[in-house]
Amino acid sequence: MALDEALLENAPRAQRPILRFYAWTEPAASFGYFQKYAELERLTLLRPLIRRPTAGGLVPHDADWTYSLVFPPSHPWYGLLATESYCRVHSLLQQAFASLSLPTELASAQLKASSGQCFVGYEQADLLFQGRKIAGAAQRRRKDGLLIQGSVQPPLPTMARTDWQQALRSTISKECAVDWQEYSLEVIIQQRAGELSNLKYSQPAYNQRR
């Protein structure tokens, strides 16, 4: 969470989109910036329970594949409406899975079974596999850029995370005319992420403030 926010702060200087794949070192759960901790702690036994810099609902991180996208204000994606941005990122995920011979669909309507939990029911434009939601995303648009944080529940136990990551990179490259290059984190970004981790995201006072 800290690194994503540090990358967002740096977006105007980077002047290019960044795609980051990451994993969780232990079972955990994250929840939306505007959600109330007291209401969510009863919904999951996963700990730590961490407030994201983006909105959205409660997401379990015990077996999912996570990614983030960061866009500077100068990028066309930054100017999209939130609904358009959400639909676009899941359309790209749909195409990525199609390249792996896995048919998915975008939800055309809402089926909300439980308030506050990302993967219980689904929203319009969520990604579904056999009627079940397998991908959700949350967004945060600020003056310094747009941050999208996404979670994918592996649709099949035989599918490899590395194959999905390569498929998504290739799909975005083709559909968005992006020539991906490996991004080496500058020391200043690493230091800022460390500050945010120590002073913000690891602190109960921040995570439980609502």
Residue 183 to residue 134: CA distance in whole angstroms: 28
Question: Residue 118 catalytic?
Answer: yes
Which of these is catalytic: 29, 118, 148, 172?
118
Instruction: For residue 2, give the nearest of 203, 143, 195 by alpha carbon.
Output: 195
Query: Which amino acid belongs to residue 112?
Result: K
Residue 114 to residue 39: CA distance in whole angstroms: 12
- 133: which strand partners? 128
Q: Are 76 and 17 in contact (CB under 8 A)?
A: no
Residue 21 to residue 65: CA distance in whole angstroms: 8
- List all residues 6 or more positions away from 125 whose beta carbon is below 8 Å from its beta carbon: 83, 86, 87, 90, 106, 107
Residues recognised as catalytic: 118
